């Protein structure tokens, strides 16, 4: 049976409103805090159990970077998995399904692994599972793009009366936050909002690169308005490194002339099973 979180405590320490440089009418509500993950991966969204894929409310999908949480028949990609972790780590949202998420990055700058390696990557505090990281390898700026438009297009085509579908929530566990890390959110080519390491550390009074403190290892929750319809995440770093885990997205449709509605549960259940980042989970050995 799927295990739901019971009365999860949201450990929000504070919130900030970050307006897009493109349009002052766009703003995202950003807060900090999550719940202890049931799989030993540190923190996760209050909406999602990383092992069972069970949600507390609404329609949410999770990327854990753990191969064990993929769906048989649609194995995740090990393109970015570091040597020695091929049987444990994968990007489950990259697969042969039309519902897959498009991830674009230089393979030498992005990695999926377990554990910490000095001058390479540090696992987020309390995270004993697979996680993702981005590094500039000592020079320049490294970029990774998580593009959710293929999945959203599927919903738009199947339920045109509720289109456009968009991502109105995104959460992620940000480990050992550094001043040179940033997460940017786009609707198409338009920048909707962003959060930088400088802003997070200032809000929580944290120290850059601290690998254990709750003020620099925290779950970030971003709620977007319907007008934003977020569909693409761009992660950048100009140092070593930016670490993240338990990416959770919430999908919402906007019927013309009506209030927002969640994605139809039957088709979302199918979608989650197809892309391997939702309800049906393989049991860990």
Of the candidate ranges 104-108, 144-148, 182-186, 265-269, the one whose mean pLDDT is the lowest: 265-269
In the numeric block, the tokens 């805090």 are attached to 33
Distance from C-alpha of 22 to C-alpha of 70, rounded to nearest angstrom: 37
Peptide bond into 241 cis (omega under 30): yes
* DSSP character at residue 106: -
More confident position, 73 or 248: 248
pLDDT of the residue at 25: 42
Quick one: pLDDT at residue 54? 58
Is residue 281 situated within a structural domain? no
- For residue 269, what pLDDT band results from cuts at 50, 70 and 90? very low
268 within some domain: no
Which DSSP symbol is given to 71?
A: B
> Does the pLDDT at position 246 exceed 90?
yes
In-domain check, residue 148: yes
Residue with tokens 């991830």: 103
CA-angle at 73, arms to 71 and 76, nearest 5° = 60
Q: For residues 218 and 181, is the Cβ–Cβ distance under 8 A?
A: no
Looking at the structure of the chain, the number of domains it has is 1
List the domain range (segments joined by +) for residue 107: 16-244
pLDDT: is 275 or 246 the higher one? 246
Contacts with 158 (C-beta within 8 Å, 6 or more apart), sequence order = 267
Q: What is residue 279's predicted lDDT score, i.e. its pLDDT?
A: 36
**Structural domain contains residue 264:** no
Q: Does pLDDT of 265 surpass 90?
A: no
In a domain, 164, yes or no: yes
Residue 88: is its pLDDT beyond 70?
yes
Residue 216 within a domain: yes
Higher pLDDT, residue 267 or 150: 150
**Average pLDDT rounded to a whole number, residues 149-169:** 81
Output the pLDDT for position 173: 97
Average pLDDT score over residue span 273-283: 40
242, 134 contact by CB (below 8 A): yes
Q: State which of 21-30, 223-232, 243-252 shows the largest mean pLDDT.
A: 243-252
Q: Which residues contact 270 (CB under 8 A, 6 or more apart)?
A: none
Stronger pLDDT, 183 or 253, i.e. the higher one? 183
Does the pLDDT of residue 193 top 50, yes or no?
Answer: yes
Percentage of the chain surpassing pLDDT 90?
A: 46
Asked whether residue 278 is assigned to any structural domain, the reply reads no
State pLDDT tens for residues 5-59. 222 223 333 334 343 333 334 467 899 999 999 899 999 998 887 776 655 555 7
Residue 222 lies in a domain: yes
CA distance 154 to 233: 18
């Amino acid at each position: 049976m799927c295990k739901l979180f019971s009365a999860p405590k949201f450990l929000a320490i504070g919130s900030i409103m970050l307006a897009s440089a493109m349009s002052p009418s766009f703003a995202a509500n950003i807060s900090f805090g999550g719940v202890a993950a049931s799989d030993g991966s540190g923190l996760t969204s209050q909406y999602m159990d990383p092992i069972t894929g069970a949600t507390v409310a609404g329609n949410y999908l999770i990327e854990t970077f753990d191969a064990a949480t993929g769906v048989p028949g649609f194995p995740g990609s090990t393109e970015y998995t570091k040597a020695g972790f091929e049987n444990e780590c994968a990007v489950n949202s990259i697969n042969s399904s039309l519902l897959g998420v498009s991830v674009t990055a230089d393979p030498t700058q992005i990695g999926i692994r377990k554990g910490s390696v000095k001058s390479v990557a540090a696992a987020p505090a309390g995270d004993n599972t697979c996680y993702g990281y981005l590094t500039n390898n000592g020079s320049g700026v490294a970029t990774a793009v998580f593009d959710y438009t293929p999945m959203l297009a599927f919903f738009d085509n199947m339920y045109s009366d509720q289109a456009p579908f968009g991502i109105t929530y995104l959460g992620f566990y940000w480990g050992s936050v550094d001043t040179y890390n940033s997460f940017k959110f786009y609707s198409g080519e338009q920048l909707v909002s962003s959060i930088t390491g400088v802003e997070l550390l200032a809000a929580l009074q944290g120290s850059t690169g601290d690998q254990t403190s709750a003020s620099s290892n925290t779950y970030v929750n971003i709620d977007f308005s319907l007008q934003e319809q977020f569909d693409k995440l761009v992660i950048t770093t100009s140092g070593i490194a930016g670490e993240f885990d338990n990416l959770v997205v919430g999908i919402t449709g906007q019927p013309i002339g009506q209030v927002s509605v969640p994605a139809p549960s039957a088709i979302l259940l199918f979608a989650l099973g197809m892309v391997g980042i939702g309800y049906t989970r393989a049991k860990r050995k």
